[in-house]
Structure 1
Amino acid sequence: MRMPDLTALLTATAVFTSALAFAAKADEVHVLNWKGY
């Protein structure tokens, strides 16, 4: 019972972290493009 929950939690955390990093990178690129660099 404990193992699958832990795995699901780690998976969700990894997905959330990667999505957050991707969004931050995309936003950074968007801002740079908007400024014309």
Structure 2
Amino acid sequence: MDLLIPWIFVIVVFSFLAAWRITAVLERTGLSRHVW
């Protein structure tokens, strides 16, 4: 069980960073106005 917790943490952090980067790119390109 100890080996499973770090993987869950890594997946959560990675998915959060990926979503943040996608949002930042959309805002920079101005596509977020069309999406939202």
Give the TM-score range, shorter chain: 0.7 to 0.9
TM-score, length of structure 1 as denominator length? 0.77
Give 1 or 2: higher helix fraction. Answer: 1
Percent identity over the alignment is 20
> Which of the two has higher C-alpha Rg?
1
Higher relative contact order (CA 8 A, sep 6+): 2
Count of matched residue positions in the alignment of Structure 1 and Structure 2: 30
TM-score, length of structure 2 as denominator length? 0.79
